[in-house]
Amino acid sequence: MSILVTGGAGYIGSHVVRAFRLAGLDCVVVDDFSSGHREFIPSDVEIVDRSILDTTHVAKAMTENAVEAVVHLAGFKYAGVSVQRPLHTYEQNVQGTVSLLAAMKEADVESIVFSSSAATYGTPDVDIVTERTPTTPESPYGETKLIGEWLLRDAGRAHGLRHTSLRYFNVVGSAVADLYDTSPHNLFPLVLDALVEGRTPRINGTDYPTPDGTCVRDYIHVADLADAHVVAAQKLLAGESLEPVYNLGSGDGVSVRQIMTAMATATGIDFEPEVTDRRPGDPARIVAAGDLAARDLGWTMRHSIDQMVASAWEARQAHA
């Protein structure tokens, strides 16, 4: 038996592969390496160098490797950029998920954990987001993630697909120095790269309706997130019923300016961030309650924001 991880060469995907292996489960990685890194995947893990849009080869990989469950992380994940590239975003995230589900049906694989997003909520009108909060995405990226959830729901109704979707909030930190966030758009790597290169980090917008004017987010450590995937997959494989959607959040928000302060402390580099305009598609505040995931998946926040920043800095230094 093995678990197929789409996007397993990425920052989050590679941590998920690591978590499955630590749990004693074999993995197969499907990745087209458009943003992933081959060196993030252990040498003894089977790699299928294909896009998830290639239904035939993905189905073949499932059959040949005795895959019994899928964790679906592959996709185009940049909310701001998706506003300029909506067709590409829909192709990768919607058509890609349709293709993956078709491959699963062909290979008789009946369990999937889907990487969804807080972007499905848009800008909530509540202080704490729960799974009952209305979904009003404000970017093509958020829309495609919501459609992905609908696709799983409909496949479940049509042919018994067992599924759950995990709505992530801001994922940061590193479990080991070998795995780190290389996104050109995420806050942590943008700040750390700037500091390493002697540039001044930037804040995108200080006119949001938040206490200090900067975006407020719910930051979670990537290792905690990866563990939640393992538990969800194990429960689906055991035939247990799960909710269709879980928020993975802390219930506490941290502003971008507060992150900058934590960065200065962790790195020992004193700086005053440069302020620029808002990014399109960025909501002011998203903070979520993780009570449902705590009940069913054992979800808990095991890392403070200072630990998250310190682990990200340690990994970035290892690759400076």
Positions marked catalytic: 141
CA distances from 145 to 116, 149, 161 (A): 5, 7, 18
> Does residue 7 sit in helix, strand or coil?
coil
Q: How far apart are CA 39 and CA 122, in angstroms?
A: 34
Q: Which of 229, 251, 232, 237 is nearest to 296 (CA)?
A: 232
Please name the residues in contact with 139: beta carbons below 8 A apart, sequence gap of 6 or more.
Answer: 79, 80, 82, 83, 119, 280, 281
Rounded to a whole number of angstroms, the distance between the first and last alpha carbons of the chain is 38
**Residue with token string 């407020």:** 216
Please name the residues in contact with 175: beta carbons below 8 A apart, sequence gap of 6 or more.
Answer: 15, 18, 222, 223, 226, 311
Q: One-letter amino acid identity for 176?
A: V
- Specify whether the CB–CB gap between 202 and 245 falls below 8 A: no
DSSP 92: I
